[in-house]
Amino acid sequence: MAKMCRHKTDISDAHEFAKTHFKMEREPTYIQDDYYEQMRTLTRYDDEIDEEMILLKNRMHSILQLSFPELEKILTPNSALFLNIVQRSPHPTLVLAHSKTVIKNRLKANTRLSLERAEKKAIALLEAAQNSDPAIESTDVRCEQVRDYANRIAELKDKKEALVQQMITLSKNRKEYMVLRSIPGIGDSTACRLIGEMGDIRRFQNAKQLNAYAGIDIMRYQSGNTQYRDRINKRGNKHLRKLLYFIVCAMIMKKKDKPNHFVDYYYQLKTQPQRKPHKVAIIACINKFLKVTFQLLTHGILYDYETALS
């Protein structure tokens, strides 16, 4: 660096950096197996589908508030039944054009509902259509538009399920997949996404490097007698950091069904004399999760709650 020009340019920098390769010995870069690259690509593709589905759902919601607002009150907006009805009858007039028996048979044929539940849904749908006061007509072009949104959302949901199944098929015989699945609160999809974002764990020498890669290592700033509050760096993989945050939150929500020592550690931090804020405790649990995961994956050991307690 001492020989480099004070007024730096891209051309001179590249030239000087190239000459350093004849004077310095650098460690070779660790090259991951193609499996990890494929898993990361599938994981990011899955994220893109989620973002597109959210956008389409918002657009569909804005039109349904004009054509058939009661529909979102009697049905779950994310369900296959809801999407099926929106594609067929996005306006109450289109619902009232058919009898209860016709609607019931259509629901039974296109969904997994039993005959009894299909009849109840048909009755509720007819009542909602009778009490609805839409702001647009059934012939309005926005009714066709909302049909298209519902159809695209249904296709994206099928594609998302196919991607998850593809990731499981690629990973089901690998040791890291079985190790991650042994941790309470981590299912098939989450285990595959973790593998896709963390990559080959063998390229890290210790858990601290994994923490830095996730961006949860501590950033400390001090000037004279002034010391600012410690924060996480957030310089690493933001997708992994987001995934880990939701994993720990899901573990806390399912603490009764699937206990683990990460949740125990969270409540320990929340009940100590100087109790930690929620997000600080979550980051501490992520730190512990990465340390434990690194050891389990490095040694090929399955998670065991009793062993973790001891």
pLDDT tens, residue by residue, 267-291? 999 987 888 999 999 999 999 999 9
Identify the residue whose tokens are 């999809």. 189
For the stretch 238-259, what's the b/e string if a residue is b when 16 or more beta carbons lie within 10 angstroms of its beta carbon? ebbbebbbebbeebbeebeeee
Structural element, H or E, at residue 161? helix 141-171
Q: Which amino acid is at 306?
A: E
Tens of pLDDT, residues 157-173:
999 999 999 999 999 99
Rounded CA separation 144/138 (Å): 9
Return the DSSP state at 222. Answer: E
> What average pLDDT score do residues 91-116 get?
89
Between 112 and 304, name the one with better pLDDT.
304
- Read off the pLDDT of residues 188-225 as tens digits, 9 standing for 90 and up: 999 999 999 999 999 999 999 999 999 988 877 777 77
Contact 241, 275 (CB under 8 A): no
Helix/strand/coil for 301 = coil
**Residue 261 tokens, joined:** 């020592």
DSSP 3-state assignment of 187? coil
- For residue 7, pLDDT beyond 70: no
Q: CA 176, CA 259: separation in Å to the nearest integer?
A: 21
Please say whether the beta carbons of 215 and 234 come within 8 A.
yes
Confidence (pLDDT) at 195? 96
Label residue 59 exposed, middle or buried (CB < 10 Å: 0-12, 13-18, 19+): middle
pTM over 0.75: yes
Q: How much is the pLDDT for 1?
A: 59
At 3 the pLDDT is: 61
What pLDDT score was predicted for residue 6? 63
Position 284 scores a pLDDT of 93
Domain boundaries, the chain: 34-169, 173-219+230-309
Tell me: pLDDT of 40 over 90: yes
- Architecture per CATH, domain 34-169, reads as Orthogonal Bundle (1.10)
Q: Which of 96-99's residues contact partners 24+ apart within 8 Å by CB, and which partners?
A: 96/126, 96/129, 96/130
Determine how many CB atoms are found less than 10 A away from the CB of residue 291. 15
